[in-house]
Structure 1
Amino acid sequence: MAQSDVALFAPLPVLTLTVEDQAGRPDIHVHAGSQGVWQARMLVTLGSSVTMCCVLAGETGLVLRHLLEDEGVTVKAVQGVGRNGAYVHDRRGGERVEVAEAPSDSLTRHELDELYGITLSAALDAGAVLLSGPSDHQTDEDAVPADAYRRLAADLRAVGKPVIADLAGDRLSAVLESGLTVVKVSHEELLADGRAADGDQDSLVKAMHQVHEQGAEYVIVTRAHDPLLLLADGVVRIVRMPRLQAADTKGAGDSLTAGVTATLARGGDVEDAIRLGAAAGMLNVTRHGLGTGDVEAVLKLRELVTVERLEPGADDTGAAGREAKVTPRDLAERTQGS
């Protein structure tokens, strides 16, 4: 029996302070942040048990442990010698304005070895493993070396665990070398990595097939406001959903990855996984909290997600932009009684 549904490799979470406006007065929120944290938050929302494997260090690390555990995440952490990063954002004007940031310290060889060991141990007791990158605010590209991801993916596949990766750049290349179950990547990341010549659909589909040939069983590509693309069993599928009014688009891709991982960890198939993931990402954009949502709303939204085979030569770029946006009232009417 798995001790956790998902083992999550999230090496360097960060502490976030966000200033909001509440009736003309500053309202300060303190949370754990980073890609892995947002994924963990949505996984817990969807009812999955999560063991997060990370390094916690310094004053910020002490606070992060309490915040993560308070959200229902099981934390297996290496006690680091440096510090976890932190940032302060001001949202009182409606947009995120960065006030200050302090990146995490890079991992030492000893910390990385310990983190590798606790991740492998947690993974052996989990239904699936999710490999997440360091925070976007981490300025040192060598903070967590790509080769650590390669070795971890190889060992996890060797013991028969489904492995999902939400990575780009050298880290994506590294896990593909080892082989894995699912890669989720954005079209912007494919362009930045030189995997796609441009952002048109044909180029993205070609890049997806190349990523599959390099080691990913399934490939998911997000395209901002355009429909998702899924490559499974040699066939590209287009994933459509209503466009909801966006409060904050940041974190939507991480919610998508969480929904996919939650389904696969329970033995579901990839089409069921992409439907739940799309619904989780769709709801996340309506909220200011990253990786947040209501499980009942996600399950109802899942019924509005369609998955269709993409016929050769078809061009669905921009299709989402031609769909009417959905207001909260529309959403309530569509999901009533679902």
Structure 2
Amino acid sequence: MDVTIFAPSPALTITIEEQDARPDIHIHAGGQGVWQGRMLRRLGVRVTICCALTGETGRVVQRLLEDEGFRVVAVERSGRGAAYVHDRRDGQRTEVAEMDGDPLGRHELDELYGATLREGIASGLTILSGPHGEGALPADTYRRLAADLRTNDVRVVVDLAGDRMTAALEGGVDLLKVSDEELRADGLLEGEDVGSVVAAMEALRDRGARDVIVTRADRPFLVLDGRTVHEVTPPALQTTDTRGGGDSLTAGVCAGLAAGEPLREAILTGAAAGALNVTRHGLGTGEQETIARLRDSVRVRALRGPSADDSDDSHGRVSPDGLAALAEPTDHRPHHEEPAPEDPA
């Protein structure tokens, strides 16, 4: 199983924890694409990360990625790379310092684009992840990459919001994962009930997404899979850090898809991976065997579509349970993910 990740500007992350009343400093490569890739590696998937590595921090990030077993295809350049320092000694993340790094130049972007296209065609499945920093590269890059990859029979998964999501949809994507809060910030969702979210998902499908996952903070997430709407409730576990939960969900789904599973099965691994990740301090981490066992605790309910009842559902009728869910706001059961646009830091 192989997956390519477009991670244009991974970050050097320094996190200060406390152990035995003393500072405990951890240094890792980070950023959305790295966290997705880390979970994919935990699930036994070979991962190629296509990225730009900048200056001193870039050299350190490359070594850290390679030590984790990633295949790194990098455009190397001088300048300032993305990095942050967070202090978690009181149990909460406090930003000490952060820098976005320098934007990609035209020639650097051309090299990175070509490398991602080449590696994506080789793997057959590519995740387009967001950069660390708003100005790292033009949003239209995502439209062009999505279109060119799909033209070459590559499945494209995006976990984006805002202008980058809009651009990717114009190019066409196989699976879009986004949070309801991100949709609300973009003016694409008004209500909080299931019916409003489903309507927004259908609008995203009309704009270029074949399938859609929308996470909803502490509530079950929703999946638009063809004509079927699934409500997915992950196992309720104690939360240590919500960062990386959404990226782990995306990675788990992609691991299933890369293994040839249909989306209905792949979301089980995604839900389990996201749930386990928030119990841990490490972002995008979790044991494969634990995730496999947690799959059995994921609850999936078809709200609409052929699998919602046993009758012919060619017109997308809603099942009795689905009617109730679409008519009323859902309960606020414990859930693994706190929405964070693109989880870039």
TM > 0.5 between the two?
yes
- Number of the residue aligned with 2:27: 30
TM-score by length of 1: 0.91
Contact 1:191/1:199 (CA < 8 Å) preserved in 2? no
| 1:279 pairs with 2:276 | no
- Number of the residue aligned with 1:131: 128
Secondary structure of the structure 2 residue equivalent to 1:307: strand
Alignment coverage as a number of residue pairs: 316
Q: Structure 2: which amino acid aligns with 1:259?
A: G
> How far 1:158 moved relative to its partner?
0.2
- Number of the residue aligned with 1:318: 331
- String of CA shifts for 1:180-212, please: whole Å, max 9, x gaps: 110000111010111101333222111001001
When the two chains are superposed, the root-mean-square deviation of aligned CA atoms in Å is 1.4
CA distance in 1, matches of 2:274, 2:123: 23
Contact 1:168/1:189 (CA < 8 Å) preserved in 2? yes
Contact 1:127/1:266 (CA < 8 Å) preserved in 2? no
Structure 1 residues 16, 190: CA separation in 2 closer, same or farther (over 3 Å shift)?
same
CA distance in 2, matches of 1:123, 1:301: 30
- Number of the residue aligned with 1:111: 108
- String of CA shifts for 1:110-154, please: whole Å, max 9, x gaps: 11100000001101110311000012xx1xx33221111100000
Q: Structure 2 matches for 1:147-226, cutoff 5 A? A: 147-226=140-219
Q: Structure 2 matches for 1:19-168, cutoff 5 A? A: 19-135=16-132, 138=133, 141-168=134-161
Q: Structure 2 matches for 1:220-299, cutoff 5 A? A: 220-299=213-292
Contact 2:129/2:158 (CA < 8 Å) preserved in 1? yes
Runs of 4 or more above 3 Å deviation: none
Q: Structure 1: which amino acid aligns with 2:206?
A: E
Secondary structure of the structure 2 residue equivalent to 1:244: coil
Contact 1:85/1:102 (CA < 8 Å) preserved in 2? yes
CA distance in 2, matches of 1:7, 1:101: 27
CA distance in 2, matches of 1:39, 1:84: 20
Contact 2:142/2:171 (CA < 8 Å) preserved in 1? no
> How far 1:306 moved relative to its partner?
2.0
TM-score by length of 2: 0.89
CA distance in 2, matches of 1:319, 1:234: 26
Contact 1:56/1:83 (CA < 8 Å) preserved in 2? no
CA distance in 2, matches of 1:265, 1:318: 33
- Number of the residue aligned with 2:8: 11
> How far 1:83 moved relative to its partner?
2.4
Structure 1, unaligned runs of 5 or more? 326-338
- Number of the residue aligned with 1:335: none
Secondary structure of the structure 1 residue equivalent to 2:297: coil
Q: Structure 2: which amino acid aligns with 1:147?
A: D
> How far 1:313 moved relative to its partner?
4.2
Q: Structure 2: which amino acid aligns with 1:318?
A: D
Secondary structure of the structure 1 residue equivalent to 2:74: strand
Contact 2:40/2:46 (CA < 8 Å) preserved in 1? yes
Secondary structure of the structure 2 residue equivalent to 1:243: coil
CA distance in 2, matches of 1:159, 1:125: 10
CA distance in 2, matches of 1:199, 1:52: 36
- Number of the residue aligned with 2:299: 306
Structure 2, unaligned runs of 5 or more? 304-321, 337-345
Q: Structure 2: which amino acid aligns with 1:296?
A: E
Identity of aligned residues (%): 56
> How far 1:298 moved relative to its partner?
0.3
CA distance in 1, matches of 2:268, 2:148: 29
Secondary structure of the structure 2 residue equivalent to 1:303: helix
Q: Structure 1: which amino acid aligns with 2:177?
A: K
> How far 1:316 moved relative to its partner?
5.7
